[in-house]
Chains A and B, each alone.
Chain A
Amino acid sequence: MNTSPLNPTEQVQGESAQVTTVSAPAKAQTRRFGNKVRDAGLAYLFLLPALIIFGVFAYYPLYRLFWYATHTQSRFRNKPASYVGLEQLKASLTSNDFISGLTHSGLYMLYTVPLGLLLGVMLAVSTHRRLKGIKIFQTIFSSTVASSVAVASVVFITLVNPEIGYFKNVPWLSLRNPTSALFAVSLSSVWQNLGLTFIVVLAALQTVPDELIEAATLDGYGAIRRFWRITVPLISPALLFLGIVLVVSALQAFAQIEILTGGGPSGATETLLFKIADPRGIRPLGVRASYSLGLFVLTAIVAGAQYSIMSKRVHYGD
């Protein structure tokens, strides 16, 4: 699946030790590899930009989030904030406001992930065959890759906007109804992600060896049994990967909410990130920082799964 194996770091260390011994007698003066002090200096020089940016815009902000979460800000910027310990963090993360944000984000996942995967698999399976003109269909199905969240949201204004949308009178797509609004918004994400899921599933399908399908056919497996017993297990790493990508993008849903509903009706589409970003500025900084830390924990759980799958995939792939 991948052309480059993920070598463990240890192996690289072993290699460069060997390089030193080989090159030492050859040309002592021009020896440039394996000089330990120079290598280390060069390495840090190369890493400097990355470490500075990550320090200032990833790790320092994490510290600031803790700081904001443990302090209450005065309404006036010039007055000092006061330390309140973990009180504010605890109160924020147990508040109804946070729980409802969590619920909406969870629902958003529930609406987008299974449906997105299902449609992606359907489209990919239906175009994974030799047929005249199949490339046209493949291009059509991957076309939504060219849309951003914002563009997809504007596209869905034409469909579900309560005043001008084509489906404005379809009750289960109504943005006016608190029970259907989030689902209607989520369809924009399903549509927007279709191109990605289609491309990844199709690529995975093409790695399934024909001989396996052939053997199963000879064994009397029907099309449906072939699909569930052979194809699905073989493309499961791709499905897992996509599942995680879709979960992350659901967790980070914001533009579609702001553009399609503005969080309404009556807060029914306020996801966790919407409450954190708080475009109308109704929540104190300390509360939003606490919510951010909640989002951080969720992200960590998902990213942990992603990392382990990524490294596994690379090992299997080679």
Chain B
Amino acid sequence: MATDPTVSAANEQNRLNQTAEKIVDPLVPAPYDNDKAVQPPRSGLRNAVATTTTYLVLTALSVIVLFPIYMLLLRALSSPLKYISAGQPLYPVSIEWDVFNRAFGQASLGRSMGLSFVVTFVIVIAQVLTSVLAAYAFAFLEFPLKKLAFVLVIGTLLLPIEVTLIANVEIIRKLHLLNSVPGLTFPFLVTAIGIFLIRQGFLGIPRDLRDASELDGYGHLRFLFKVAMPMSKAIIGSFIVIAFLGAWNQYVWPRFATDRGAWQTVQVALRTIGSENPGELNLGFAAAIVASLPLLALLIFFQRQIVRGLTAGAVKG
């Protein structure tokens, strides 16, 4: 009866993972029981024609989706003035491989990338901490005015930074935090969506496990770190990835919480890099590529978490 809660937690976790993966990962084709059900039997020739047509359509759609990315690469690598005088063709003109070096050197892309990393890490770490704690309070603790507190948390969904922008800028100005990491991060250290998601994860933990932990003499802190958090690993992981996505992609707040170029995050810096001089336009395009690399890495290594996070009904980047 009093089994080690961590063991059953791990089992439960596996079960949850399996279910979750089976259901929401679109990048793994769903297991079809019966191919004939979806694609009625055809003659060999008709089948071949249908397959070829499908590939053609898919390739055409891919070209449309990838064309803007191709144009970005093309413009980043081509010498801006020579490309224009060559009549803006669909192939690169006098490639300048050093464009990335120049973006880091001339346009101090390194500084804005570094600032973006700092801001993003501060926001993600803080959001996970505050969300886990608040979610624990809502899921496992009883306290006076619990409902009111929950309504106050959910109510902030009506107050995104876009709505409160101008008042928040004034607040940050009065606190002398314009052009600072605290100024760039403070309004985002907590998010209702994180609290809501992780609370849902906590509420899914079976009652037996709490009873068992309690009989083993676990206090709240030990239950939180040894049982509740490991068991909600999948949800917390997805939340971390989408929190990173959201924090890295921010534009409106960092745009107005700074008034000095040196404090521009990379997204904000993209607006001005290379725009002063027509001969340096490619610096801006190169910077846009560099700014997307962290998310590209995220997409490659954490596909599953991204998909789960996005489909959990949370946020978008």
Give the contact-size bracket for chain A.
Answer: 35 or more
- Among B249-301, those with CB < 8 Å from A are 249, 251-252, 255-256, 267-268, 270-271, 281, 284-285, 287-288, 291-292, 295-296, 298-299
When chains A and B are docked, how far (Å) is the Cα of A249 from the Cα of B80? 33
* The stretch of A20-28, A106-114, A174-182 that contacts the partner chain: A20-28
C-alpha gap A191/B54 in the complex (Å): 22
* A91 within 8 A of partner (CB): no
Contact of B164 among A12, A65, A139 (CB under 8 A): A65
Interface stretch, picked from B3-11, B99-107, B201-209, is B201-209
**B65, A140: Cβ atoms closer than 8 Å:** yes
Given A47-B134, A164-B88: A142 and B299 within 8 A (CB)?
Answer: yes
Tell me if A39 and B141 are in contact (CB < 8 A): yes
Cα A26 to Cα B310 in complex, Å, equals 44
Q: Whole-angstrom distance between the alpha carbons of A39 and B137 in the complex? A: 9
Report B-chain residues with C-beta under 8 Å of the C-beta of A145: 245, 295, 299, 306, 310, 317
For the complex, is A170 an interface residue (Cβ under 8 Å from B)?
Answer: no
Q: Does A266 interact with chain B (Cβ within 8 Å)?
A: no
Cβ-closest chain A residue relative to B252: A254
Across the interface, do A62 and B164 meet the contact criterion of CB distance under 8 Å?
A: yes
B203 pairs with A42, CB closer than 8 A = no
A273 → chain B, closest Cβ, in Å? Answer: 5
Q: Is the CB of A57 within 8 A of B168?
A: yes
Nearest-neighbour CB distance to chain A for B79, whole angstroms, equals: 13
Question: Quick check: B158 and A296 within 8 Å, CB to CB?
Answer: yes
Q: List B contacts of A128 (CB < 8 A).
A: 30
Q: Which residue of B lies closest to A41 (CB)?
A: B143
B286 → A minimal CB distance (Å): 10
Q: A46-B133, A289-B167 are in contact. Are A154 and B298 (CB under 8 A)?
A: no
B62 touches A9 (CB 8 A): no
B43 beta carbon closer than 8 Å to chain A: no
Instruction: Say whether A171 faces chain B, with CB atoms less than 8 Å apart.
Output: no
What separation, in Å, do the CA atoms of A306 and B140 have in the docked complex? 26
Interface-facing stretch out of A82-90, A96-104, A202-210: A202-210
- Would B68 and A5 count as touching, CB distance under 8 A? no
Residues of chain B within 8 A of A172, CB atoms compared: none
Report how far A198 CA is from B287 CA in the complex, Å.
26
Measured CA separation A138–B61 after assembly (Å) = 11
Q: Which of chain B's residues 39-59 have a Cβ closer than 8 Å to chain A?
A: 39-40, 51, 54-55, 57-58
Q: B154 near A307 (CB under 8 angstroms)?
A: yes
Do B251 and A158 touch across chains, with their CB atoms under 8 A apart?
Answer: no
Write out the residue numbers on chain B whose beta carbons fall within 8 Å of the beta carbon of A258. Answer: 255, 271
Q: Is the CB of A16 within 8 A of B167?
A: no
Which residues of B are found within 8 Å of A42, using beta-carbon distances?
Answer: 137, 141, 220
Name the residue of chain A whose CB is nearest to the CB of B18: A3
**B2 to nearest A CB, angstroms?**
11
Residue numbers in A under 8 Å from B284 (CB-CB): 154, 157
Kindly provide the distance from the CB of B88 to the nearest chain A CB, expressed in whole angstroms. Answer: 6
Whether B171 and A57, one on each chain, are in contact in the complex, defined by CB atoms closer than 8 angstroms, is yes
Is B170 interfacial (CB 8 A cutoff)?
yes
A299 neighbours in B (Cβ, 8 Å): 158-160, 162-163
Which residues of A are found within 8 Å of B55, using beta-carbon distances?
A: 131
Per the bound structure, the CA–CA distance linking A26 and B2 in Å amounts to 13
B162 with A259: CB separation less than 8 A: no
Give Cα A41 to B200, complex, Å.
22
A30 to B219, CA, bound (A): 8
CB of B50 to closest CB in A, whole Å: 10
**Interchain CA distance A313-B196 in the complex, whole Å:** 14
Residue ID in chain A nearest B154 by CB atoms? A307
Residues of chain B contacted by A307 (CB below 8 angstroms): 154, 157
A30-71 interface bits toward B, Cβ cutoff 8 Å, 1 = contact, 0 = none: 101100100110111011011101101111111011001000
Complex A-B: 29 CB contacts under 8 Å: A9-B138, A9-B146, A19-B210, A47-B134, A50-B133, A54-B152, A57-B168, A57-B187, A61-B159, A64-B167, A65-B167, A124-B26, A140-B62, A150-B268, A153-B270, A155-B69, A157-B285, A159-B71, A164-B75, A166-B88, A196-B316, A199-B26, A200-B310, A203-B26, A206-B26, A252-B252, A285-B166, A296-B158, A296-B159
Can you name 6 extra interface pairs (CB under 8 A) apart from A135-B27, A307-B157?
A: A50-B190, A130-B35, A137-B58, A203-B24, A252-B252, A295-B162
Top-8 shortest CB links A-B: A4-B204, A214-B37, A61-B167, A148-B249, A202-B26, A61-B164, A43-B143, A40-B143
B: residues with CB less than 8 A from A are: 16, 19-20, 23-27, 29-30, 32-35, 37-40, 51, 54-55, 57-58, 61-62, 65-66, 68-69, 71-72, 74-75, 80, 84, 88, 129-131, 133-134, 136-144, 146-147, 149-150, 152-154, 156-160, 162-168, 170-171, 186-187, 189-190, 195, 200-201, 203-204, 207, 210-211, 214-215, 217-220, 234-235, 245, 248-249, 251-252, 255-256, 267-268, 270-271, 281, 284-285, 287-288, 291-292, 295-296, 298-299, 306-307, 310-313, 316-317
